[in-house]
Chain A
Amino acid sequence: MFDDLRDLYQEVIFDHNRNPRNFRVMEDADRKVEGFNPLCGDRLTLFLKMDGDKIIDASFQGSGCAISTASVSLMTEIVKGKTEAEAEDLFRQFHEMTTGKEDKIDLEAIGKLAVLAGVREYPARVKCATLAWHTLDAALKNEQEAISTE
């Protein structure tokens, strides 16, 4: 019945929605930023542990739709061990992927994040997928204010 949707709701997304990775409060976090999407009520808190400019641990708490939960879960996995510059570059590529500019994407670098490419067919849902990354961006810039996609 939902054949068309398989492009968006892939098994990886269901998996991360059911069992989000790095879903925990990080007591000794160096950075802690809240992300909020007032239109859907998606809300997350992102925690980062830094070593110099390197992200050595990432975790989150919060609630949201399957797309936003899977996106933040996948993000916390992939940014571990990345430098700030590498993470920012992933954000840029992720943004381009979700807005349909595939030619500028290094498929190897984004790895599993590619499962979220289908969101570009659903413009109303792009913000669900990018909330995590906007929150990460704020955390890397060390912004203390809660960030909002609106």
Chain B
Amino acid sequence: MTIFPVEKIRADFPILKEKIRNKSLVYLDNAASCQKPQQVIDSIVHCYSHEYANVHRGVHTLSVRATDRYEGAREKVKDFINAQSTKEIIFVRGATEAINLIAQTFGKANIKAGDEILITAMEHHSNIVPWQMLCKETGAVLKVAPIDLQGELIFSEFEKLISDKTKLVSVVHMSNALGTINPVKKIIAAAKEKNIPVLLDGAQAIPHMSVDVQALDCDFYVFSGHKLYAPSGIGVLYGKQALLEAMPPYQGGGDMIRKVTFAETEYNTLPYKFEAGTPNIADVIGMGAAIDYLNEIGMDNIAAYEAELLDYATEKARQIKGLRIIGDNNNKGAILSFVLDKIHPHDIGTMLDSLGIAVRAGHHCAMPVMDFFAVPATARASFAMYNTKEEIDVLIAGIEDLIKIFG
């Protein structure tokens, strides 16, 4: 087995050299957002310095250059998740916008009063609230498949909730609050038996594993760039072409039209039908650069390395008296969510910050998950490909010390 080039990777991320409160930064808040390698930063600078103009518009050289780079990034995304066609890759602001887009277009066209939308109890608010809004508008019903105390979906209960009324299954691929990776192949197979479309919220999964939308056979897959070492404010909605063709447009405006008169408008073809207005050109190009970077390392290598980090951290955390891991199971991505006896997560967060360690303390936009585990919040250390075992040692020592001083 080759050794994972973590030091080489770290050198590519300028922010990792930052000092925080005079300590070396230990960045363990990757589930909230990842840092960016120089290659991504450079691609944005290069775009604005040498190849920026509006896309799909002008005949002039710069516009052609920008369009080539923008559409080139779409091609990279298509290959990255193994979609059949670039027509299936819609650029949006992030996973949240992608889910809202689906709710407002596919949802409004296909989901009626009395129909059901099935999610799980470990969803991020972004895969709860858009459906609640749709249910309120249409009279549809939101069904929630339960999880167990290890933070895993109770699959038999999920299956029972699939009915003839179910019009969409929308589940998280990997939970941001717990780290749990859902059995998405089984979920999709169960839904397909009743021809129910499946949306996977891949915001958290995408930087941690290789994703093949055709092998998964999901109908929609959504993710954000900022968790994929790409810029914030850009994300992807993948949808099967036939579904996207049948969906009404989301927003009206420039670029999404073919012909406009005051009498009527003919919409553009895919993917442009869903990309009204000038898109986030530079950040799309930045996402292309992030994908190039990840491909060079290899998603499978990243997954294997991060699994090692998680095992190491979990093993150490389990030895700390008074520490309880929230979401302690064997189907997890590199997230360690935990609580300490009698020490509030926000105190943990501030104390670790004073050591230069960035962790998230809070409800992780998953308040129902917090309610289920009867905690107000958790502290969450989430790992990325640039983290090291030494950094985990710093984290563990920090936790042990703060337990001591809280007494």
Judge whether A5 and B344 touch: CB under 8 Å: no
Judge whether B346 and A63 touch: CB under 8 Å: no
**Contacting residue for B350 out of A8, A63, A64, CB 8 A:** A8
Among residues of A, the one whose C-beta sits closest to the C-beta of B23 is A4
Beyond A18-B407, A41-B363, A41-B370, whether A66 also contacts B344 by CB under 8 A is yes
Judge whether A1 and B344 touch: CB under 8 Å: no
For residue A40, which residues in chain B have a CB less than 8 angstroms away from its CB? 344-346, 361-362, 376-377
Among residues of A, the one whose C-beta sits closest to the C-beta of B361 is A40
B21 within 8 A of A: yes
B347 within 8 A of A: yes
Contact with A along B375-407 (1 / 0, CB 8 A): 011000000000000000000011001100111
**Contacting residue for A1 out of B350, B376, B401, B407, CB 8 A:** B401
A128 within 8 A of B: yes
Beyond A14-B407, A63-B376, whether A9 also contacts B351 by CB under 8 A is yes
- Chain B 335-350 interface residues, beta-carbon cutoff 8 Å to A: 343-347, 350
Complex Cα spacing A5 to B352, Å: 10
Complex Cα spacing A75 to B402, Å: 26
Among residues of A, the one whose C-beta sits closest to the C-beta of B376 is A41
Complex Cα spacing A149 to B311, Å: 38
**Contacting residue for A4 out of B21, B346, B406, CB 8 A:** B21
Judge whether B407 and A65 touch: CB under 8 Å: no
For residue B377, which residues in chain A have a CB less than 8 angstroms away from its CB? 40-41
Contact with B along A1-19 (1 / 0, CB 8 A): 1101100110000100110
Complex Cα spacing A125 to B344, Å: 12
For residue A5, which residues in chain B have a CB less than 8 angstroms away from its CB? 350-351, 354
Contact with A along B358-373 (1 / 0, CB 8 A): 0001110000001000
For residue B354, which residues in chain A have a CB less than 8 angstroms away from its CB? 2, 4-5
**Contacting residue for A64 out of B22, B344, B362, B405, CB 8 A:** B344
Complex Cα spacing A124 to B370, Å: 21
B189 within 8 A of A: no
Complex Cα spacing A9 to B347, Å: 9
Which of A14, A40, A128 has the most B CB atoms < 10 Å from its CB?
Answer: A40
For residue A39, which residues in chain B have a CB less than 8 angstroms away from its CB? 362-363
For residue B402, which residues in chain A have a CB less than 8 angstroms away from its CB? 2
For residue B370, which residues in chain A have a CB less than 8 angstroms away from its CB? 41
B355 within 8 A of A: yes
Interface residues contributed by chain A, number (CB under 8 Å): 23
For residue A63, which residues in chain B have a CB less than 8 angstroms away from its CB? 376
- Chain A 66-110 interface residues, beta-carbon cutoff 8 Å to B: 66-67
Which of A39, A41, A63 has the most B CB atoms < 10 Å from its CB?
Answer: A41
For residue A67, which residues in chain B have a CB less than 8 angstroms away from its CB? 346-347
Chain B: minimal CB distance from A147 (Å): 17
- Chain A 4-47 interface residues, beta-carbon cutoff 8 Å to B: 4-5, 8-9, 14, 17-18, 39-43
Judge whether B401 and A2 touch: CB under 8 Å: yes
- Chain B 14-37 interface residues, beta-carbon cutoff 8 Å to A: 21-22
For residue A125, which residues in chain B have a CB less than 8 angstroms away from its CB? 346, 350
Complex Cα spacing A2 to B377, Å: 23
For residue B398, which residues in chain A have a CB less than 8 angstroms away from its CB? 1
For residue A124, which residues in chain B have a CB less than 8 angstroms away from its CB? 350
For residue A65, which residues in chain B have a CB less than 8 angstroms away from its CB? 344-347
Among residues of A, the one whose C-beta sits closest to the C-beta of B375 is A41
Among residues of B, the one whose C-beta sits closest to the C-beta of A8 is B350
Complex Cα spacing A130 to B333, Å: 37
For residue A128, which residues in chain B have a CB less than 8 angstroms away from its CB? 346
Chain B: minimal CB distance from A116 (Å): 13
Judge whether A2 and B347 touch: CB under 8 Å: no
Chain B: minimal CB distance from A48 (Å): 25
For residue B407, which residues in chain A have a CB less than 8 angstroms away from its CB? 14, 18
Complex Cα spacing A88 to B20, Å: 37
For residue B401, which residues in chain A have a CB less than 8 angstroms away from its CB? 1-2
For residue A64, which residues in chain B have a CB less than 8 angstroms away from its CB? 344, 376
Complex Cα spacing A122 to B401, Å: 20
Which of A2, A4, A122 has the most B CB atoms < 10 Å from its CB?
Answer: A2
Complex Cα spacing A67 to B343, Å: 11
Complex Cα spacing A42 to B361, Å: 13
Which of A39, A42, A66 has the most B CB atoms < 10 Å from its CB?
Answer: A66
Complex Cα spacing A14 to B405, Å: 9
Selected A-B contacts with CB under 8 Å, 12 pairs:
A1-B397, A2-B351, A4-B22, A5-B351, A5-B354, A9-B351, A14-B406, A40-B377, A41-B376, A41-B377, A42-B344, A125-B350
* A positions within 8 Å CB-CB of B: 1-2, 4-5, 8-9, 14, 17-18, 39-43, 63-67, 122, 124-125, 128
Given contacts A67-B346, A122-B353, A128-B346, 10 further A-B contacts (CB under 8 A): A1-B397, A1-B401, A4-B21, A9-B347, A9-B405, A40-B376, A41-B363, A42-B376, A43-B376, A124-B350
Please name the 5 residue pairs, one residue from A and one from B, whose CB atoms are nearest each other, closest first.
A41-B376, A65-B344, A65-B346, A5-B354, A66-B347
